[in-house]
């Protein structure tokens, strides 16, 4: 039997795992579907899933976001100025997520149900409030505009926003705001539930 077993070696005498020198940064060692060693992107450590859902009943073509109240976001009831927000309070009242690090929105999809034949547009914006300032701040849309036409409040439609990924980037200190916009000023009732996949870099 060997007198110097691997389990008793000092840390300085241990080698790194196979293919360590050629593996990319921020990857983890896994066993792939073929039973082979594989270094994969460590997305689990950097990925954050944000639930976004709510209700809207409007007869206006304004763009609406939620107001934070009662410990949750739920009713899309406050008008969003999508060029420059009205004041810094929007950062607190309308934002779905405060971004603690740089990153990007990798995916945004879910189900939406709305009044038969009515159409609603769903958008995602980023903005950067100024600390200790009531001044408004500019909003930049991330990804495509989702357009859905209702088939009745009891019939959900699946949606998925496109043009996301690394091009839909944000910076630490940004906030993300989700909006709903009816396309006609006629009574439109919307309910939706979705998930935003955020990847921090």
User: Looking at the structure, do residues 97 and 56 belong to the same domain, yes or no?
Assistant: yes
Give the confidence band of 90 by pLDDT, cuts at 50, 70, 90. confident
Residue that is written with structure tokens 């300085």 in the block: 12
> Residue 46: what pLDDT?
82
Is the per-residue pLDDT at 55 higher than 60? yes
User: Looking at the structure, do residues 91 and 20 belong to the same domain, yes or no?
Assistant: no
pTM beyond 0.75: the answer is yes
Domain that holds residue 14: 6-43
Give the confidence band of 171 by pLDDT, cuts at 50, 70, 90. very high
pLDDT digits (tens, 9 = 90+) for 184-197: 999 999 999 999 99
> Residue 94: what pLDDT?
87
Question: What percent of the chain stands above pLDDT 90?
Answer: 55
Give the confidence band of 115 by pLDDT, cuts at 50, 70, 90. very high
> Looking at residues 116-134, what average pLDDT do you find?
93
User: Looking at the structure, do residues 93 and 134 belong to the same domain, yes or no?
Assistant: yes
Residue 1 maps to a domain: no
Residue 144 near residue 166, CB atoms below 8 Å: no
Residue that is written with structure tokens 């950097």 in the block: 46
> Residue 35: what pLDDT?
80
User: Looking at the structure, do residues 108 and 175 belong to the same domain, yes or no?
Assistant: yes
**Cα–Cα distance between 36 and 23 in angstroms, integer?**
14
User: Looking at the structure, do residues 37 and 111 belong to the same domain, yes or no?
Assistant: no
Domain count, the chain: 2
User: Looking at the structure, do residues 30 and 49 belong to the same domain, yes or no?
Assistant: no
User: Looking at the structure, do residues 51 and 115 belong to the same domain, yes or no?
Assistant: yes
Residue 161 sits in a domain whose CATH number is 2.60.120
Residue 178 maps to a domain: yes
> Residue 71: what pLDDT?
66
User: Looking at the structure, do residues 83 and 10 belong to the same domain, yes or no?
Assistant: no
User: Looking at the structure, do residues 81 and 18 belong to the same domain, yes or no?
Assistant: no
> Looking at residues 132-138, what average pLDDT do you find?
87
Mean pLDDT of the chain: 87
> Residue 93: what pLDDT?
81
Residue 162 maps to a domain: yes
**Cα–Cα distance between 161 and 145 in angstroms, integer?**
7
Residue 128 maps to a domain: yes
Is the per-residue pLDDT at 181 higher than 60? yes
User: Looking at the structure, do residues 55 and 152 belong to the same domain, yes or no?
Assistant: yes
Is the per-residue pLDDT at 42 higher than 90? no
CA angle 17, 21, 27 (to 5 degrees): 75
**Cα–Cα distance between 155 and 131 in angstroms, integer?**
43
């Amino acid at each position: 039997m060997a007198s110097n077993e691997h389990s008793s070696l000092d840390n300085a005498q241990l080698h790194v795992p196979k293919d360590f020198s050629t593996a990319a940064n921020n990857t983890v060692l896994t066993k792939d579907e073929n039973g082979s060693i594989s270094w994969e992107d460590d997305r689990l450590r950097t990925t954050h899933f944000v639930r976004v859902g709510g209700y809207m009943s409007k007869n206006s073509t304004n763009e609406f976001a939620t107001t934070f109240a009662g410990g949750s976001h739920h009713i899309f009831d406050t008008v969003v100025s999508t060029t420059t927000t009205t004041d810094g309070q929007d950062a607190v009242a309308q934002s779905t997520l405060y971004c603690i690090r740089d990153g990007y929105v990798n995916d945004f999809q879910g189900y939406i149900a709305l009044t038969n034949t009515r159409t609603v547009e769903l958008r995602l914006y980023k903005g950067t409030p100024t600390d200790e300032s009531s001044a408004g701040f500019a909003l930049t849309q991330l990804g495509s505009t989702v357009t859905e036409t209702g088939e009745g409040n009891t019939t959900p439609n699946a949606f998925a926003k496109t043009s996301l990924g690394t091009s839909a980037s944000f910076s630490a200190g940004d906030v993300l705001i989700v909006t709903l916009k009816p396309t006609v000023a006629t009574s439109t009732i919307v309910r939706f539930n979705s998930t935003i996949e955020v990847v921090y870099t």
